[in-house]
Chains A and B, each alone.
Chain A
Amino acid sequence: MSETPVDELGYEAARDELVDVVKVLEQGGLDLDASLALWERGEALAARCEQHLAGARARVEDALAGRDDD
């Protein structure tokens, strides 16, 4: 596959691609191999998004916890 490795995608890129993956799967018409590969890519993108969001949430909470001590 020619896609960028999921680990190298930023949050927006990962999310946008995930949206596209879902759309393509919803349209159907793919053979099992292609849809299986697309689905696996989607899973990986979703995991990447969750990873990003978790990191962002942790940074926000850390920053607030540090600042509230002032």
Chain B
Amino acid sequence: MTSPPVSSPENPLPVRSVATKVAGWIDRLGSIWVEGQLTQVSVRQGTRTAFLTLRDPAADMSLSVTCSPMLIQSSPVPVVEGARVVLYGKLSFFTGRGTISLRATEIRAIGVGELLARIERLRGMLAAEGLFDPRLKRPLPFLPRAVGLITARASAAEKDVLSVARRRWPAVRFEVRNTPVQGPSAVPGILRAIAELDEHPDVDVIVLARGGGSVEDLLPFSDEALCRAVVAARTPIVSAIGHEPDSPLSDHVADVRAATPTDAAKRVVPDAEAELALVAELRARSSAALRGWVAREARGLDALRNRPVLADPVSGLDRRGEEIAEMRRVVRRDVRRALAAESTAVDHLRARLVTLGPAATLARGYAVVQRVVPGDDPEVLRSVVDAPPGTQLRIRVADGSVTAVGMGRVAAPSTASERMDP
């Protein structure tokens, strides 16, 4: 556009020319649509201009807005403090006071439907970025050194969180940051509080607590900047906004979603009494288990001790001794029996031999005479013819044999004569 006018300490520009040039520059910006939240609405009776302040919902920035009171009165939606609106207007520089303001010619309120649709779009975007990923959720500490609490001053939510947490764990420490929880200053205040508590060395968990409210009231908790701050914080954050059915986006990005502020208190501190009871119960159970173990082992040891081999170590030897004695008795009996049986068998054989042989006849005095034939078995002598004098003879009697030599021979008178004298 135009080059900056030449100025120096020796040749400063007068205010009027600066103001005129700024006004001219701003005037050239033309008309724009702006969205924000109304923080001040001042319509003085009898004036031709109404003064409004339009504030950014996330950043600590605002714009002055002026408009005709008629525009406010004829607006289809109430133009009140806290309303989210879209304004159409032209920026102008008031040279008289050196201020910039937007001269609004149209005001549109953002309806609930539009707000919910925006929240839905933001929800989709944040989900697509993965900010709701369960893997991002940090676990809550079992016993935090200090609990950061961000809530409205003297609110029911604050009272609920503090009283419930203290009842469960009397020693619990809180770092409370009171911020606006609705309206245009809520998000900047909450962002500051989150940053401060996240840096706090003792704060191990942060609770965002707010009671129930309208969609517009809960809007700060669906703010994109706030949601990103919750994700970015290193300290685990519990979102406890509104009642059960309320579901601002902070519930999704927080590490834990509590249904109510009371629920949040229950989650961030353990119930001391319940924990102590649990510890006592565990101690009782473990000592009982140990006592049971000792008793069981003692019983087992007693049982082993009472086993015959340990209770009476000699009994085993005695039993074996008895076994040996019994076996010895049996083997003695058996060997005697075997000897007796064999003796009997031999006796029988001998008895049969006696009946078969000539023993009985020999015993009566008879003898068997054999002629000894050199180089051959002896032959029974049946005739004197076979025994000339000098013949060697063997005479078998009952208890043995006699050897003899024939001295002569005499034939029997009847039968042998013709044989002797041929």
Residue numbers of A with Cβ under 8 A of B are 1, 11, 15, 18-19, 21-22, 25-26, 32-33, 35-37, 39-40, 42-43, 46, 49-50, 53, 56-57, 60, 64
Interface centre among B345, B349, B368, B396 (most CB of A within 10 A): B349
The secondary-structure label for the interface of chain B is: helix
Query: Would A22 and B353 count as touching, CB distance under 8 A?
Result: yes
How far is it, in angstroms, between the C-alpha of A15 and the C-alpha of B377 when the chains are bound? 25
Query: Would B379 and A42 count as touching, CB distance under 8 A?
Result: no
Q: Which of A1, A26, A39, A46 contacts B346 (CB 8 A)?
A: A46
Query: Would B353 and A43 count as touching, CB distance under 8 A?
Result: yes
Q: How far is the CB of A66 from chain B (nearest CB, A)?
A: 13
> B348's closest neighbor in chain A, by CB?
A22
Residue tally, chain B, CB below 8 Å to A: 23
Known contacts A18-B346, A53-B343, A60-B335; is A37 also within 8 Å of B357 by CB?
no
10 inter-chain pairs at a CB distance below 8 angstroms, sorted by A residue, are: A22-B352, A33-B378, A35-B357, A39-B356, A39-B357, A39-B359, A43-B353, A43-B359, A46-B350, A60-B336
List 18 additional contacts besides A46-B346, A57-B336; criterion CB under 8 Å: A1-B377, A15-B342, A15-B346, A15-B349, A18-B353, A25-B353, A26-B356, A33-B370, A33-B378, A33-B380, A36-B368, A36-B370, A37-B377, A43-B353, A43-B359, A46-B349, A49-B349, A60-B335
Query: Would A36 and B396 count as touching, CB distance under 8 A?
Result: yes
What 0/1 readout, one digit per residue, does chain B (310-350) give for beta carbons within 8 Å of chain A?
00000000000000000000001001100100110110011
Return chain A residues, CB-CB under 8 Å to B134. none
Query: Would B357 and A43 count as touching, CB distance under 8 A?
Result: yes
How far is it, in angstroms, between the C-alpha of A33 and the C-alpha of B345 when the chains are bound? 27
Q: Which of B342, B353, B377 contacts A42 (CB 8 A)?
A: B353
Interface centre among A1, A11, A42 (most CB of B within 10 A): A42
